[in-house]
Chain A
Amino acid sequence: MSRRSQNVEADIARFASEVAIRIDSIVAKLDVVADHGSSSGSEFDHFVDVTRQMLVDGEIGDVLAGAGYAVSHDDFRRPPAMVWWVHRGDAVVERTHSVDPDSESFYDYAALRWFRTAASSGRPTLSGPFIDAWGSNDYTVTVSVPVSESTGPGGVVAADVDVRRFVDSLTADLRRIRVPLALVNESDRVVVSTVPALSTGLPIRPRSVRDTAESPVLQRFPVSDYGWSVVSLSG
């Protein structure tokens, strides 16, 4: 193997670990929120306060677009409940989601990866990029962390990443490595890439050919154990 290709490999691996560090830092913030249940009063109100505070405390240049909490409701004793905070101008305001299963615009969070996978795996979960219909109605990357059920109703705390800012901030670093590259999620959907035709949200191969055509992936570098990876592409 040539010295040059070894360098490129090292650069890609470094990029993958930089992405992991960014995700880790959001997970760390969520862990703090998830680990400290309320000592008194209502568990839900506690999470209403702390998730709001998470956005209020955000630093300038922070990529968090929203944060919130949703309870587990897989039994009949506890109805679904969720709170979500977003930035609007300089303020942090609540974005309402209908959590009444009988309502037309029911936001069925329990069916969504950010809630479902975090709750069932018990691990930090990375979801997206996906269009959050019934929620933000825009591209979303969500980092979520389960809340222990030992003290209360459990559930999931989560934060939305501002996808455009996140992608912008990674593009320059990615372009510096001079081979075709993409950061992809667990379904090989593009988060960001250096290939103009592969913009955020697209699969690296259309469904129609994904089982027949040869994979364009030459090498894959995992982003920690979040399911994302940086792939070098042919062509």
Chain B
Amino acid sequence: MKTIIRIAALIPYLLAALLACTGVASAAEPIVVGSILDESGPLNTYGKPMADATKLAVNDINAHGGVLGRQLKLITYDAQSDNAKYTQYARRLALRDRAVVVMGGVTSASREAMRPILDATHTLYFYNEQYEGGVCDGNTFLTGIVPSQQIAPLMPWAIKKFGPKVYVLAADYNYGHISAKWVDQYTKQAGGQVVGTQFIPLSVSQFGSVISKLQSAKPDLVVSLLVGGNHIAFYRQFASAGLGRDMTIVSPTFGLGNEQVVLSPEESRHIYVAMPYVQSLDNPVNKAFVAQWHQVYGQDYPYITDSAVTVWNGWHLWAEAVRKAGSTDRDKVIQALQSGLTLQSPSGLVKLDGASHHVYQSVHIAETNDHHGFTVIASEKNVPPSYENSVCDLIKHPDLNKQFVPGGQ
């Protein structure tokens, strides 16, 4: 008799346990998502704001109820500016943590380290950073600005304003090499001439020989495709040698690592960039975004970079696609992403192109100002990733997987 009473007393617990197994409770289980960025080492000048944006974006999505009634659980890894760590963590996120989407990568080298692994493990991948363009991969979405949106408007504008002789300084890895080809192409189209190109290893912080060459070549424009903490030294040594009197720096990369915050306003004077986002953009979404950022990371946060907003866009586009797909299944989410999603981003309206997996976005040509920031000179809305659109149609050819570069290959 006593035993029966004991068993009867257990019934409610058994019922609860049964309920837990049938999935009523699992609906509230969080969805695991992953991010790998360089939060330390020489590339953290880019990676830190991107990591901050990642946390802010995921918290923002969770604060708005998450997706599919479930919260996101963000797992982040710091790749420490080491490409080998990217492959290791990409594998871990895909196989051990079972993340449904992985975002990250700072340099193009790190993206190319992760991309094959995430392809092979069928893990959806977002690369949220300005880059050299042309990646066409059914599993990969790229929300950063590409040369056909950035270098294409910047070169004709700069050549018209400052003169036709162009000298290119590029970081010595895939980003710099491919982008240098783009600069060459758009310079010729604008009637200019590239008089010299130098590839600089990321470890170089002494630019004496480069400064000497610039003084001998006497270009009108110096296009800087320099990358990383060591290369900031170039702008400083350029300014202290007084070269700014004779030539002007334009750059697709300046500012992504908050170079204008590190340098004094005198050192970074008259440097011109083209980016989708500068912090001073005057629109209500950006006002709310900047306020939210400052509330979380403090009023004295140096400057919200373009790359940080690109990361924000990537997460929100993915969340939107999951809501639309009603599932976190990779193929369904890709289908939703390819259906032409739009997002009201701090940088303005962002539209995901389903065929090329790149985005239409606003582009601003801007100049460094006296307050460690940028002042917008000219803007264009809804600029297409025209090169990617012309070569890459993943709806028609879902199995395409290559990087297109100017001049073929």
Q: Do A and B bind each other?
A: no
